[in-house]
Structure 1
Amino acid sequence: MTEPLLQVSDLSVSYRQGLGWRRVVEGVSFAIRRGEVLGLVGESGCGKSTVALQLLGFRHGSLRTDSGKISLEGTDVLGLDRAGLDRMRGAEVSFVPQNPTTALNPGMRVGAQIDEILSTHGRESRERTREMFGLVGLPTTDDFLRRYPHQLSGGQQQRVCIAMALACDPRFVVLDEPTTGLDVTTQEQIVDLLVDLRARLGMSMLYVTHDLGLLSQIADRIGVMYAGQMVEIAPTDDLFADPRHPYTRGLIGALPRLDSDDRAVKPLRGLLQREGLPQGCPFAPRCDFALPRCFEEPQKLARVKERHDAACWRVPDLPPNSAPASLKGGIEMALERAEPLLSVQKLSVTYGSGRRAFRALKDVSIDVQKRETLALVGESGSGKSTLARAIAGMLVPSAGVIRLRGAELQSQVKQRSQEQRRLIQFIFQNPDASLNPRATVGRSLARPLEFFFPGNTEGRAEKIREALAEVRLDAGYAARYPDQLSGGERQRVAIARALIAEPDLLLCDEVLSALDVSVQASILDLLQRLKSETGIAMLFISHDLAVVRMLADRVCVLFRGEVMEIGSREEVYSPPFHPYTHSLLEAVSTPLKKGGAPRSSRVLGTASGFGCPYAGRCPVEIAGLCQTEPPPLRQSGRGHAIRCHHSLEELDKRTRHARREDRQTHENHES
């Protein structure tokens, strides 16, 4: 066995808190070999990003390294001075951040940003910059190199960050949630790119994420962290097939599955409470198998089988891992197709004017029944959020009609009646931005009561307590500020703020995308329960088709502002598919889905702008027709419709043939 490229030994890190220090990483050890990818997973606040940044020698003023050693091919990273770190960063170890929009300099052209890091390390710049752009699948023209970050899509921005990280041929790359927030097709492209670069360049990586399904596609081994400690580490296939630590079992059980018809997940019990951790195992307060000894005795990683370590003394006594128990939070009902709660007819939205006009939505028609959840899915730029904002009165449509309870709504929210505004409530993707940081939770929840029920001043405190209880938060949270809450708790407050207005319709815009898998499961369970208990209707926007399958009654697939497919959950997730729907389903990260083979279903290109918006990317495009003629909306007769020039029978046949080809390709690749 050769010496590892990177060795982390007994790493402990603390952050300053008030007059003292709080330990956030405790005794973490792992090694990464040359050419190996180690995934690091865990809930928000578990310390995984702190560990990742320590590999680059990150030293914040409020951070201290209490113990441990990080060795990169014999170099003591923690012992380097600033000059040594500057020489190491970029040349020997590099970093790909979570958010490329904030990581890239908005005032510099993207080509110049690659030039800068090359010149810093004494490398020839411009030709190498072109080479790196080509390596990550970006255009190498002068025009593209001279673009600013805001002129690129999210996926292109992330490719620029990857090109920057690889420009000086580092031996080791740290990736901190590099695909969080990207739509499923863009995420698939970035992951495929990383897999390809690793195969060609032999890079070693630490890949930090909360997406277990994604890690199963790229990581050789996975380390699981909880409350600053490594609780399990094992080869990827082994971890998913036979997880040994109760926390790992909980994470895998909380993972939405596209390949399951069960509409329930099993959220982990409780939340990570750093203040109340026991002296022994930090997971004991949430563990279904904990005994009194677990609360008292600290647990260390120990070998449970070949190359598989877990920090739990109860491993030999645990029952075999099984599928999560069904909570059946979703509701199956025969929705009467009477007058809908919400009706949108031929809605179009245009940004800008004149030659710079861009049509974000084109003739979109949908309806939402009472007690129904309609999901909007599609990649970034498909018009999902634009449609929700137009329904909420935050954007003025250029054409079309929106009706609520049969009454036509004015375009702007300020022109609508107070009752109409109350009946539609918006839950935003990022509660950090939507909650007032200077207002307590109680004050934020009081505002809708004051606005929509001004005469009812008595009982407001009780209403706030009830709203918090409805989202599983105790009354004490009313006195807290947003920065005193976790990401999942802030999202629960945002949901409570919407519900306290007693609406008929919730507009949920990517409310789960930034949450780790266990918090996501608890919010998903909450939404399922609210739907079952209150009968509230939802327009649920997401790019996660596995989550959508668990929550939605019907699904609408958007691409470049047009409806490509719409129907019940069962119809949209079964053949025949629109070719774009098929590509979205194929791009979903599923645990233990084998990758590495060419994907025949994804064809990159650009649409002509005249015919089908998916022309140029469609693998079954009809030459001379799809580029020039708008496709018809083909009805199945059961409320299921697909916008395509191919007949439904032809699409069904092609889909089944493509699936057989994909299976054969993967089998050949594995053999």
Structure 2
Amino acid sequence: MTKLIAVNNLSIAYAGPAGWTNIVEGVSFDIARGEAFGLVGESGCGKSTVAYRLLGYQAPNSRVQTGKVLFEGTDLLQLDAPSLAALRGRKIAFVPQNPTTALSPGMRVGSQIREMISTHRALADNVSMDDRLRELFALVGLGDVRRRYPHELSGGQQQRVTIAMAVACNPDLLVLDEPTTGLDVTTQRQIIRLLSELRSRIGMAMLYVTHDLALLAQIADRVGVMYAGQLVETADSETLLSRPLHPYSRGLIASIPTIQHATLGARGLTGVLRRDQMPGGCKFQPRCDAASEACRSTPQSLDKVDASHAVACMRWRELAPPATPPVLDKTPIGNTDATGNLLSLQNLTLSYTQSGWLRTLLGQEGKVTAREIEIELNAGEIVALVGESGSGKSTIARAISGRLAPRSGSISLGGERLEPRLSQRSRQQLRQIQYIFQNPDASLNPRRKVRAILERPLDHFGIEFETATLEDILESVGLHADYLERFPEQLSGGERQRVAIARALLVKPQLLICDEILSALDVSVQAKIVELLASLKAQHAVAMLFISHDLAVVRQLADRVAVLYLGELMQVSRTKALFSSPRHPYTEMLLRAAPDLHKDDYKPMPPAMPQSMSVHGEGCPLAGRCPRQVDSRCAQSRPPLQRTADGFIRCHIPVGQLAVPA
């Protein structure tokens, strides 16, 4: 295959108080036409910095020290701004990590994609603009959402819009920076299948930056592992994921839970990446269990193992892993006893069109987003809320936190009924419920340093503290004291999320609402945060509503799982029972979509299409998509709620006939 793009000896430095600091050092790789190359590593390793250089982007406080980025033989680093603008979107496209900041809040999403196509004149003569927009939205699993604004879509739906925008001009190279972190497992699989089909159809190459190695196994031909700005291992994806040679690669893979191995006992990575403590030799030496004295002083470079495999470790031959991977401990962290009801949702129905002048103006009650939700959460218990994007998970969380008044039903905390609106609740109630948002870019003040961000809730609730208090909480989420004097823009996406988690923990709440809080974190940090959450639960009886699409983490952490689909609770069950025998057809679909570390032949189900649900809606919301649909009852009548030993299932099929091994 011919090279489409080649990165040769790329070194990039950033300006700081102590002068210029190398963030990327001597990185070299190439991508052939139609090939998918994955770039993985922990937050702050430099992978996104490399990705942005493939589009010619450069931060104002950075400079290229050495190297070239050759696209079809042309060095992108030497092009002027107009030449780069002509390439971006048409020849090289980009899918960002955070769609909220990538989409213009004042433009309808259809207009934003229309602008992209018009700018690059990328419309065939026999195709109308409206037809092309409908085709693009269908490709990424959305209905006709052309006239919606970004805020009217869920985070996952927003990300699908950015992907539709990126592929609108059929680019030769697609650069994806953590493109599926905010998506549920079924939508992730739909996107991966879409990207694979685009590769086959137009020969599109990809640079796929991610921390999700299980998902990367489904699409990447080759993988490069980065640590502290350097490539430490490159190999084809199957080889790297099944037989990694570098100690860092092995630690990353050992940190990954899967739904088959939701492990607490696996040996992952120790410590955190500290660029201020880098030795002159191997950068990974301070965290490596196998390091020798020579490793600290001897710089490492990629050494060929074979034609397609290279590793930057002087000891890789003697440290080669066994051919058969060790059996992992499957003991989950969750499933411990919890007593005393803390949170109760009773017959909760939610809508974004409330009663009042707007209802009168529109002449309608509006779309019901969640219907008759009933969840009990005990002190010290973790209940996971899972389901696809747009199912209503975050809507329920908003209602609990007081940011959305229910249409009907009630919310109680500690036996005391909560007022529907945030402004009506007492200071103590506000302190008891802390919300950790999915998107730290939107929840952290960009004009305040981390110190001020952490001090604000302590000052608000009148809690006395010392600097050591702030340092300790940062250390608990894998950051160090130096971060107190940094602004959010100086942190990676994963580092910003860790600050957001630390802020919520500082006031010692009784209930944490965790809204996809791990989606932006790399696997090694995820493991640390999961252990931190588990210790809070065990030591302080902190309860959590854990909203997530990562079923492996859910299996590892949660006591019970509530499965939500288009605003309807389909199943509530103890975690162990749900994963061993999922029962409900929709739960089966979710579990089958969860990727493992080996490429599989999973075929995604058709995507869920948003649909209006009246207060007295008829039929099962899964009808038409369900693999076990029985007859017209599914579409015509609401499924009955069937009680089970540890929860309930809502389905027309009797519980006894639903028991299916996972």
TM bin (shorter chain) = 0.7 to 0.9
Q: 2:592 aligns with which of 569, 586, 597?
A: 586
1:205 partner SS: strand
Cα deviations across residues 464-483 of structure 1 (Å, max 9, x unaligned)? 56655655666676666655
Q: Which segment is superposed worse, 189-198 or 417-426?
A: 417-426
2:219 matched residue in structure 1? 218
- Matches of 1:432 and 1:71, distance apart in 2: 32
* Partner residue, 1:237: 238
Partner of 2:37: 38
- Kept after mapping to 1: 8 A contact 2:341/2:414: yes
Inter-CA distance 326–526: structure 2 relative to 1 (3 Å threshold): farther
Shift in alpha-carbon separation, 1:325–1:269, aligned structure 2, 3 A: farther
> Do the aligned partners of 1:266 and 1:326 also contact (CA within 8 Å) in 2?
no
Q: In the alignment, residue 546 of structure 2 is paired with which amino acid?
A: F
Pairs within 5 Å for 1:538-557: 538-557=544-563
- The AA in structure 1 aligned to 2:637 is E
Residues 1:622 and 2:625 are matched in the alignment: no
1:143 to 1:171, Cα distance in 2 relative to 1, 3 A: closer
Offset of residue 569 of structure 1? 0.2
CA contact (8 A) 1:177 1:209 kept: yes
Q: CA deviation at 1:592?
A: 0.6
Q: Does 1:330 align with 2:333?
A: yes
> SS of the residue aligned with 2:69?
strand
Q: 1:278 to 1:616 in 2, by over 3 A?
A: same
| C-alpha distance in structure 1 between counterparts of 2:4 and 2:489, whole Å | 38
Do the aligned partners of 1:553 and 1:569 also contact (CA within 8 Å) in 2? yes
Residue 95 of structure 1: aligned partner: 94
Aligned to 2:251, the other structure's residue is in SS state helix
Aligned equivalents of 1:62, 1:465: Cα separation in 2? 27
Partner of 1:312: 313
- CA contact 2:13–2:24 (8 Å) conserved in 1: yes
The equivalent residue for 1:642 is 649
User: Amino acid of the residue matched to residue 76 of structure 2?
Assistant: V
- Measured against aligned partners, the alpha-carbon deviations of 1:574-607 in whole angstroms (never above 9, x if no partner) come to 3242222122212222211413x534x5565565
Tell me whether 133-142 or 245-254 shows the greater mean CA deviation: 133-142
Mean CA deviation greater in 217-226 or 266-275: 266-275
In the TM superposition, what is the alpha-carbon distance from 1:463 to its structure 2 partner?
5.4
Contact 1:40 1:222 in 2 (8 A): yes
> Larger relative contact order (C-alpha < 8 A, sep ≥ 6)?
2
One-letter identity of the residue aligned with 1:333: T
**8 Å CA contact 2:89, 2:116 repeated in 1:** yes
> What is the aligned length?
646
Between stretches 29-38 and 72-81, larger displacement belongs to 72-81
Instruction: Give the C-alpha shift of residue 616 in structure 1.
Output: 3.0
For structure 1, list consecutive stretches of 5 or more residues without a partner in the other structure.
660-671
TM-score (norm. length: structure 1): 0.87
Distance in 1 between residues matched to 2:543 and 2:529, nearest whole Å:
16
Whole-Å separation in 2 of the counterparts to 1:481 and 1:123? 40
Instruction: Supply the distance in 1 between the matched residues of 2:147 and 2:328 (Cα, whole angstroms).
Output: 54
Q: Which amino acid aligns with 2:251?
A: G
Shift of 1:242: 0.3
User: How much does 1:160 deviate?
Assistant: 4.5
What secondary structure does 2:580 align onto? coil
Supply the distance in 1 between the matched residues of 2:334 and 2:426 (Cα, whole angstroms): 32
TM-score, normalisation: structure 2: 0.88
TM superposition shift of 1:488 = 4.9
Q: RMSD value over aligned CA atoms?
A: 3.3
Note closer, same or farther for the CA distance 1:94–1:538 as it changes in structure 2 (3 Å cut).
closer
Alpha-carbon distance, 1:445 to partner: 4.7
Q: Distance in 2 between matches of 1:203 and 1:404?
A: 52
Q: CA contact under 8 A between 2:387 and 2:549: conserved in structure 1? A: yes
- Alignment counterpart, residue 379 of structure 1, candidates 388, 411, 416: 388
Does residue 403 of the first structure (1) align with residue 412 of the second (2)? Answer: yes
With over 3 angstroms needed to count, the CA separation of the structure-2 counterparts of 1:577 and 1:55, relative to structure 1, is same
Residues 510 and 289 (structure 1 numbering): CA distance in 2 closer, same or farther, change over 3 Å? same
**SS of the residue 1:255 aligns to:** coil
Per-residue CA distance 1:508-527 (angstroms, 9 max, x = gap): 22211111222222211211
User: Matches of residues 161-200 of structure 1 in structure 2 within 5 Å?
Assistant: 161-200=162-201
Deviation for aligned residue 1:312: 0.6
2-structure distance, mates of 1:140, 1:571? 31
Structure 1 residues 608 and 630, CA, compared in 2 at 3 Å: closer, same or farther? farther
Q: 1:345 to 1:239 in 2, by over 3 A?
A: same
Q: Which residue of 2 aligns with 1:205?
A: 206
- The alignment partner of 2:317 has SS state of helix
Identity of aligned residues (%): 51
**Distance between the aligned counterparts of 2:157 and 2:444, measured in 1?**
30
